[in-house]
């Protein structure tokens, strides 16, 4: 859509001052709501979900479901109810699926319920090649055939047959790979054992809800997940509602922003436990952080200086390690603290390219190889025009623009709107000078 691409944000930087104050609320987690919406395909009655963030990815997943034949009611208070009983089609819409990697999570439950699914090579943030071998190998192990024609994958089981439980060992820990095979195993015939699974909290969160509706999933949130399939029998929500858990990446992004620019700032409706590693690292670096029930507090009282914070090495790792989705916001933090920090991005081979734009702002960053950079601080950043290559680097540019001297223009707004609902309203509320300009 033209406006989507030409809309920009203008941010006036604080020039190093720490004046952000008040409360910023965390929304429901984008990467929890996607597998949750996909799991609606496993239900014979309505699947309802609350605390759903108002973001583009949710809109797109809902369109994917509606184009399969599902009906979706938007209720009061960020709640949706999905009825999948009229699904007739099993081909995921190509245009939408190419926009977001999360679309592939629909493949598992669709294949398990209807015996067939087709989808394009999924799109999403340009942070690496992002292969789908784990999904295809898993589906084959569960008795499905995979055909590829003109970039469309068609996965199916023989007529009248069901997907079978299987033992799958993931050669690479994959979040959406774990999610889609776990969902497929729920209604497959027999037992599925997933080894070297992802342990993200979003996986355990949805598994717990599915178990309350008749699924038999053991070990979600650990590296071995055992699913006893229902042999085709669908789940029933019986008026239970799945409440989307708080977005830990939003919470971590706001905490890093607060560490750099907060005077007295509260991050509310979050779960500090889900970003334990970030809290520990920032405390080690010298940031005074207090925790309350579902909130994190930074109390500077005008006495904190970023140049007194200590440098710290960062190695991204699957949960509960340092999240790759917080790597770019953390690099902005490291440009402001005292000393040299090594950042090792172990998950994606293309997730450090955004640093060129930080260097243009005045950051001192040397790239050793596609996975490692050295960041030297403190450096004064100057505002400029910025275009993020992915959702999380886009928010990192928000942070760099807010700490910089002068004004910044941030393009690629579509990335931000994919994952951070009403972001300018929430930032304005704590004192950021930001406007959205629709050309
Ligand atoms: C999920 O992506 C998240 N997206 C990503 O968040 C997040 O960065 C990533 O997990 C890692 O935490 C959603 O949950 C929708 P992976 P996913 O499969 O599942 C390789 C955001 O900004 N791999 O865990 O696509 C892959 O190339 C997004 O919210 C294979 O080799 O990531 C990568 O190197 C960005 N073969 C590694 O595994 C496969 O079949 C981890 O990828 C699958 C993955």
Q: How confident is the model at residue 4 (pLDDT cuts 50, 70, 90)?
A: low
Of 37, 370, 312, 34, nearest in space to 200 by CA:
34
User: Which helix or strand (DSSP H or E) is residue 276 part of?
Assistant: helix 276-285
Q: Is the CB of 392 under 6 A from ligand 1?
A: yes
pLDDT of 192 reads 98
β-bridge partners, 53:
none
Mean per-residue pLDDT of the chain: 95
Q: How confident is the model at residue 438 (pLDDT cuts 50, 70, 90)?
A: confident
Sign of CA dihedral 179, 181, 185, 187: positive
Beta strand extents in 173-293 (DSSP E only): 191-195, 217-218, 224-228, 241-243, 262-268, 289-292
Q: Is the CB of 34 under 6 A from ligand 1?
A: yes
Is residue 118 pLDDT above 60, yes or no? yes
Residues 45-55 have pLDDT tens digits of 999 999 999 99
Of 244, 243, 242, nearest in space to 40 by CA:
242
80-89, 166-175, 263-272, 409-418, range with the lowest pLDDT: 409-418
Q: Is the CB of 84 under 6 A from ligand 1?
A: no
- CA–CA separation, 172 vs 98, rounded Å? 22
Ligand 1 atom nearest to 348, measured from its CA: 34
Distance between Cα 55 and ligand 1 center (Å) = 19
User: Which helix or strand (DSSP H or E) is residue 403 part of?
Assistant: helix 391-403
Of 18, 69, 45, nearest in space to 306 by CA:
18
User: Which of 48, 81, 125, 213 is the catalytic position?
Assistant: 125
């Amino acid at each position: 859509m033209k406006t989507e691409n030409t809309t920009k944000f203008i941010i006036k930087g604080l020039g190093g001052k720490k004046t952000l104050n008040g409360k910023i609320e965390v929304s429901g987690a984008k990467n929890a709501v996607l597998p949750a919406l996909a799991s609606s395909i496993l239900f014979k009655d309505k699947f309802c979900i609350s605390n759903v963030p108002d973001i583009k990815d949710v809109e797109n997943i809902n369109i994917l479901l509606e184009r399969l034949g599902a009906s979706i009611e938007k209720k009061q208070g960020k709640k949706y109810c999905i009825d999948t009983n009229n699904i007739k089609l099993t081909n995921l819409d190509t245009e939408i699926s190419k926009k977001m990697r999360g679309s592939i999570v629909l493949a598992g439950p669709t294949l398990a319920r209807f015996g067939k699914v087709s989808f394009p090579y999924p799109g999403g943030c340009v942070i690496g090649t992002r292969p789908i071998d784990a999904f295809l190998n898993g589906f084959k192990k569960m008795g499905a055939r995979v055909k590829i024609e003109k970039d469309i994958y068609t996965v199916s089981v023989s007529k009248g047959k069901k997907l079978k439980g299987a033992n799958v060992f993931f050669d690479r820990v994959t979040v959406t790979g774990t999610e889609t095979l776990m969902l497929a195993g729920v209604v497959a015939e027999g037992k599925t054992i997933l080894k070297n699974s992802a342990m993200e909290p979003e996986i355990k969160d949805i598994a717990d809800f599915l178990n309350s509706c008749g699924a038999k999933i053991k070990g979600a949130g650990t590296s071995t997940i055992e699913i006893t399939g229902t042999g085709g029998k669908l789940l029933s929500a019986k008026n239970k509602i799945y409440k989307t858990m708080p977005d830990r990446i939003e919470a971590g992004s706001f905490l890093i922003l607060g560490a750099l620019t907060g005077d007295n700032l509260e991050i509310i409706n979050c779960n500090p436990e889900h970003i334990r590693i970030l809290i520990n690292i920032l405390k080690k670096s010298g940031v005074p952080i207090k925790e309350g029930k579902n909130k994190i507090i930074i109390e500077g009282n005008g006495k904190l200086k970023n140049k007194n914070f200590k440098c710290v090495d960062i190695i991204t790792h699957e949960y509960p390690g340092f999240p790759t989705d917080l790597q770019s916001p953390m690099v902005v933090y490291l440009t402001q603290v005292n000393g040299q920090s090594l950042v090792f991005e172990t998950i994606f081979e293309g997730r450090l390219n955004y640093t060129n734009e930080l260097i243009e702002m005045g950051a001192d960053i040397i790239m050793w190889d596609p996975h490692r950079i050295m960041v030297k601080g403190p450096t004064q950043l100057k505002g400029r025009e910025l275009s993020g290559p992915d959702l999380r680097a886009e928010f990192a540019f928000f942070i760099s623009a807010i700490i910089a001297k002068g004004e910044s223009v941030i393009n690629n707004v579509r990335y931000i709107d994919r994952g951070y609902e009403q972001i300018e309203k929430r930032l304005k509320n704590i004192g950021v000078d930001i406007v959205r300009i629709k050309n």
